[in-house]
Structure 1
């Protein structure tokens, strides 16, 4: 798809037209998404948060009753908290929520922005709150957002932005693994459907550039890319993210993050490194330490040990609570590759004693820090596979044979790694044999290899149009208990069963 970019004149014209249409439709309303507010909104999605704050402050001074102001203020807080990962800042800023909702709620009931803005604010705080394990409060806010959006869709069926929040809510709830958040949401009677959410967000991303709501395109793409990659684990996450972000200006640090993150998650490591190396920079941009962590991950996935520079920088600049354990784990692996076993052990101690386990990667890092020292060849194959270097990963594995590994844990991992590489290389029958061997060797252990192998077998049989064997494999994965990543693997298997009608 050719890259399409709006010229500055076209963008200004589009913003002006949008503001004109909005102001004419709500006459005397105090939801005035004027040119100044639109510029602030655009700055937020370039992660120029200080610029946005200045524009919002000027708008607040000029039009103190404009209820778009508290709406935008919440966006600034949301993206500030996403980039800092700071729980203390979350606790400090959370008190702003109710005052903003009160001002917006008391404003013009004939504006589609009244309910929409309240829904977005609730949803934003829920998404941040969920990162720190406050699941019941997050569930309550998601339920409130859903109720407001449903009501707004009935009152203003032509207001396309309702689909953004409803699509996100449908997708996230529809894909949630069993756990406290899902049970909390069920108390409110909330149910979702992953495919319904994906369809809503895809349609919105496709059609917004053709409408007067074009200024909200970046936000839609941000939500859609998140759902594709992290919620749906979609094989089309890379292609669709690159397609939809192509029209976003290169001056956007959020675009850089989205592209690099999805590239890194989907085996396009060299592209991720290039994007991060050329990211927009300067004092205008919000500090975003996570990008150093992401560069470290990408570098190490190609066995480039200079990754330690980026991990060290992340630890120095990060003020948040996530990825600290995982960073120490990766630094330990680098020490291991350098033959420094004592430093490896020291980093494992740091992984155990520092950071938190709110994020899944940190939970897994703690598990691995408490496990025996990994086999270097298996670890290299794992990293190369994650980086998308399939042939190199296979070469590392082919240099060994199962008899070279003494523990059943390493034997199970060996077959699992072979299975994943052959699977991605399209060698289905070989992969199925590898996965079965991983199950045979690992089904009684706490490690995830056997259960994940069963899920992958189910996917292959699903692709082969063999629903009976697919169902059997997915159920086998669900039946395995007390292993790493149990909730996410079980959820993945249940999604597979839903796809095949099992």
Structure 2
């Protein structure tokens, strides 16, 4: 994180030290900065020193929760989550006994509630997560009324609005609706964008990195925004290169948005050393990026992830990718063994692991379709198209493969801005695959809707989004339906 002058420090502390027991002093600020560089060991030492000197400083339990939050995000370890969860109420109790006239009084409690809710949701504990989100939202709303100039409220409110506005139908959405809590995706995105733009020009500059971390997540994973790459790279540029979190954010968003070579370079150049929190996911991410350019050295990264990961997510998905490498190398027995391993190991908390299990139970992928899929995901559009050049729909025996063939062609042509070809491909995918259990036809309808939306043909956009919504019983139904509903909301349908 950028350094700031002594004068700025004086201005910062005069703004933020609301009472002696919510003292975001220099030591606390240094601990906070180390958290957001993923130097969690250093942060723990600084927090322990602060606790010894100022045992009643209620910024300490907030910082301790930040450390636990990022520790659990980087380890994905459910047993550690269950162990550390016991700390939550003690921290809330200490804060709630403190100065109610501080802007940190409600803010700190809300942050702790929201952080635990976001972690809890990863393990399917939706009812408790919903109660915590509702509590955090109420606390932040009240704090915003009491302290309208305390801009940090916008971080949590931005996340809650965005996540709630894009939440697919399911237990969490149903439970939150019982509290009367509704979100607005665009409002949440706008809140975070405004903060990312304006914090560097204000006394809240030290909280910039946290804002960008949450904004990048919302853009890429919640809003699925076409601006995710440009915005993330813009706003992370001013963060210090010593931040492992910066490397993660940039590599993740690059890999998710077709800037694959850039993702690989960022991961190669990431900061390393014992001072940083162990982060096995980065090996998984490198494996994904390598395989998306059909570089089979990806296998070494996937194997390392399986060896070092102590968490519950991406195990099935990692084995799926290892299976694809075997298949692409002509090792059908190795592929079969890995499909069996998917069925017998790992968990299905994460959508990628659920999809991996679906694929392990499905037919063997067609090699050309698999290559096109991987190359497209990496942003290698011309190579992806070349992978399908020698194929015609008649070359594929199953309705699944015929549907996927048209869907893959549609996605490639769509990204190459060949709208007419993409629309034709998508329509063919819908015609063949609308009654199948695979996601291709429904997703094709959503993509058609987006093209028509871009062309300002709102009647056809609405029709396409509704076609997607009306398809039932397929993979990824909830998230595709939610994406289609968001499209309807954008066009006023």
Interval containing the TM-score (normalised by the shorter chain)? over 0.9
Quick check: 436-445 or 70-79, which moved more? 436-445
Following superposition of structure 1 onto structure 2, how do residues 118-197 of structure 1 map, counting pairs within 5 Å? 118-197=109-188
Partner residue, 1:245: 236
> 2:391 — aligned with what?
400
Question: Cα offset for 1:316?
Answer: 0.2
Picking from 262, 267, 279, the partner of 1:271 is 262
Partner of 1:18: 12
Instruction: Report deviation, 1:17.
Output: 3.0
Name the counterpart of 1:317: 308
Tell me the distance in 1 between the aligned counterparts of 2:310 and 2:97: 37
Which residue of structure 2 lines up, in the alignment, with residue 223 of structure 1? 214
Query: What are the ranges of 5 or more consecutive residues in structure 1 without an aligned counterpart?
Result: none
Could you tell me which residue of structure 1 aligns to residue 376 of structure 2? 385
Name 1:461's counterpart in structure 2: 452
What displacement does 1:14 show? 3.3
Q: SS where residue 241 of structure 1 aligns?
A: helix
Task: Tell me the equivalent position of 1:364.
Answer: 355
For the aligned residues, what is the CA RMSD? 0.9
- Residue 42, structure 1, aligned to residue 33, structure 2: yes
SS at match of 2:347: coil
1:419 aligns with 2:398: no
Check conservation: 1:152, 1:162, Cα contact below 8 A.
Answer: yes
Instruction: State the alpha-carbon separation in 2 of the partners of residues 375 and 161 from structure 1.
Output: 50
Evaluate the alpha carbon distance shift between residue 388 and residue 117 of structure 1 in structure 2; reply closer, same or farther with a 3 A threshold: same
- The offset of 1:353, in angstroms, is 1.0
Match of 1:304 in 2: 295
Give me the whole-angstrom Cα distance separating, in 1, the residues matched to 2:6 and 2:97.
31
- 1:95 corresponding residue in structure 2: 86
Task: Output one character per residue of 1:380-411: Cα deviation in whole Å (capped at 9) or x when no partner.
Answer: 00000000000000011112111111111100
Q: How far apart, CA to CA, are the structure 1 residues paired with 2:371 and 2:16?
A: 56
Distance in 2, Cα, partners of 1:95 & 1:177: 30
- State the alpha-carbon separation in 1 of the partners of residues 378 and 360 from structure 2: 22
Q: Which runs of 5+ in 2 are unaligned?
A: none
Q: Which residue of structure 2 aligns with residue 291 of structure 1?
A: 282
Distance 1:457 1:156, change over 3 A: same
> Structure 2 CA distance, aligned partners of 1:438 and 1:421?
14
Q: 1:432 corresponds to which residue?
A: 423
Mapped partners of 1:20, 1:283: distance in 2: 35
Residue of structure 2 aligned with 1:64, choices 55, 61, 66: 55
